[in-house]
Amino acid sequence: MSLAEKQKQASPLMVIIAFAVLYIVWGSTYFFIAKAVAYIPPFILGAFRFITAGVLLMLWCAFRKEKLFNPEQIKHAAITGILLLFIGNGAVIWVEKTLPSSLVGVLVASQAIWLVLWDKRNWKTNLSNRSTVTGLLIGFAGVVMLFIESAGGMVSQSGSMATIVSLLILLVGMHSWSGGSIYSKHHSTGSSTVNSAWQMLIAGLVFIPAGFIKNEWSTFQWQAVPAEAWLSALYLVVMGSLAGYSAYVWLLSVRPVTQVSTHVYVNPVVAVLLGVLFAGEHMSWLQIVGLGIILASVLLINLSKYRKQKPVNEPVNPVKPEGKMVLAGTGKQAVCTDC
């Protein structure tokens, strides 16, 4: 089924609900990851979260009698799951042992910039547009500002290079997530629910040997984990994975990547508010300015795209939208990303 056909079949109400889940739930996951990873090692947390969510979603697909064992679909789901969940989300889980959840949420805001750079099929359109290029340069300046402020301040406090390593790991994770999102957009086939189930299950299984390599399984004491951490992990399974990730994968199949990526505008705000209000975290003015610069840049990139969209005259191709609808709360015409 072509992208245009999927867009026409997508219910406007379901699109609005999916975006709401993506904006609010995923913004809150940074806070709950920090609560869980304080007691549960990163790779064990990733394995528990994604295997549990993957098995539950797989059972749901079996109940609905969906086709589960398509080799081509499983292959693409495995690649997407490793890029998005094991490397991308795994990096977020890992670095929250060192970095405040609010700061991680802010840094991930730059992901929309990397999505434009990874979207090779649209390079000619994106990189020939003055507003897009300007937005990329401004956003890069904001990322550099955040990186210098975060690394300099935290290294001086901790007296080690662990923070810089964490920031570099997070950067790799963001690039992996962006590349995985583009890959999923162009290669996923079949039911988006089945895709989500395989992606989470396969990524969760990959977390297991990674935990052995880091010696997490032999040192982890299950009985020492408080109820608060288990409840946070359960929230990540139900809301972050079953609801949030499934919404992301579905939106990737029925909306343009750049439109789905708008969740990075709202997620940092939710992450910062929860971190400051409930975790006693602090954001410096320079970090807030850097966040504002990044948000302004990605908004500039996407606004230029919306202004230049001419669905009636555009040729049909698997990447560009053909139909038109009004995205609730924006007034823009549009036609609606895989922790």
- The pLDDT assigned to 6 comes to 54
Q: Which residue has the tokens 């994106």?
A: 126
Q: Dihedral of CA 231/234/238/242: which sign?
A: positive
Residues 199, 249 contacting (CB under 8 angstroms):
yes
Segments of the chain with pLDDT less than 50: 3, 159, 310-339
Give every CB contact of residue 84 below 8 A, 6+ residues apart in sequence. 176, 177, 180, 181, 184, 199, 203, 338, 339
- CA–chain centroid gap for 130, Å, is 27
- The pLDDT assigned to 297 comes to 75
DSSP code of residue 83: I
Backbone angles phi, psi at 219, to 5 degrees: -105, -10
CA nearest 284: which of 166, 186, 157? 157
Q: Which residue has the tokens 């500039």?
A: 300
- The pLDDT assigned to 316 comes to 44
> How far is 258 from 7, CA to CA, in rounded Å?
15
Average pLDDT taken over every residue of the chain: 80
Residues 293, 145 contacting (CB under 8 angstroms):
yes
- The pLDDT assigned to 318 comes to 44
Angle at 193 between CA 105 and CA 169, to 5 degrees: 30
pLDDT, tens only, 57-90: 999 999 999 999 999 999 999 999 999 999 999 9
> How far is 181 from 34, CA to CA, in rounded Å?
24
Give the N- to C-terminal CA distance of the chain in Å, as an integer.
26
Q: Considering just the CA atoms, what is the radius of gyration of the chain in Å?
A: 19
pTM check: above 0.95: no
Q: Which residue has the tokens 């993957």?
A: 54
For the record, the structure tokens of 337 come out as 């990303």
Residue spans of beta strands (DSSP E) within the chain: 325-326, 333-334
Q: What residue type is assigned to position 298 of the chain?
A: V
Q: Which residue has the tokens 């007691």?
A: 39
For the record, the structure tokens of 46 come out as 């990733």
- The pLDDT assigned to 284 comes to 75
For the record, the structure tokens of 176 come out as 């992996």
> How far is 228 from 35, CA to CA, in rounded Å?
8
- The pLDDT assigned to 305 comes to 56
For the record, the structure tokens of 231 come out as 């409840």
